[in-house]
């Protein structure tokens, strides 16, 4: 899949048996519909009040269906996320998962995941890219 923000290839990072699609270039992450609830509330159900059919259209596209993502607030936070209107999931820019955790909208696992993804992005950026032919 491609990053909705910068079009780089997303990489899969596993955390507590959840596979998160992470962009090593911009640090954003894609959460599939069932992953959102598990991370935010510890349950596979979508949190109450989370409307993935948010109001305004964003310029970004869903990595699954390519429809334009919708932008709207994640309940109990000031974080505006990009959500697929077909309920495939949502996109969080770098730092937004941490903001969700710090707004008490998430669990301890939310903050742990935010730190883990930040560490993965940092280590990916610190790894030099081999020279072609070298």
Radius of gyration of the chain (CA): 15
What integer pLDDT is reported at residue 34 of this predicted model? 76
Distance CA 66, CA 123 (A): 29
pLDDT at residue 43, rounded to an integer: 64
- Residue 36 gets the label, from left (phi > 0), alpha (psi -120 to 50) or beta, of alpha
Tell me the three state secondary structure of residue 11: strand
| pLDDT of the residue at 128 | 47
Tens-digit pLDDT string for the chain (134 aa) = 999 999 999 999 887 777 889 899 998 989 887 777 766 666 666 555 555 555 666 689 999 999 999 888 777 677 888 888 888 888 989 888 778 777 665 566 666 776 766 676 667 664 544 445 54
User: What per-residue confidence (pLDDT) applies to 18?
Assistant: 77
Q: Measured at the alpha carbon of residue 114, what is the angle toward residues 110 and 120, in degrees to the nearest 5?
A: 140
The answer to whether 27 touches 118, Cβ cutoff 8 Å, is yes
Q: What is the pLDDT of residue 121?
A: 67
pLDDT single digits (tens) 81-103: 888 888 888 898 988 877 877 76
Q: Could you tell me the pTM of the whole model?
A: 0.74
The domains of the chain are located at: 11-126
SS3 state at 118: helix
CA distances from residue 37 to 40, 64, 89, 106, 123 in whole angstroms, order as listed: 5, 19, 11, 9, 27
- Looking at residue 49, its pLDDT comes to 55
């Amino acid at each position: 899949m491609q990053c909705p923000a910068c079009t780089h290839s997303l990489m899969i990072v596993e955390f507590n048996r959840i596979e998160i699609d992470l962009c090593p270039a911009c640090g954003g992450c894609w959460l599939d519909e069932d992953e959102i609830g598990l991370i935010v509330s510890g349950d596979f159900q979508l949190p109450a009040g989370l409307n993935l059919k948010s109001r305004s259209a964003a310029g970004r596209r869903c990595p699954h269906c390519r429809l334009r993502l919708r932008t709207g607030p994640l309940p109990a936070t000031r974080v505006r996320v990009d959500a697929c209107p077909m309920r495939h999931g949502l996109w969080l820019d770098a730092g937004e998962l941490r903001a969700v955790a710090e707004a008490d909208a998430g669990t301890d696992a939310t903050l742990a995941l935010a730190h883990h993804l930040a560490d993965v992005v940092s280590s990916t950026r610190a790894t030099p890219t081999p020279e072609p032919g070298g």
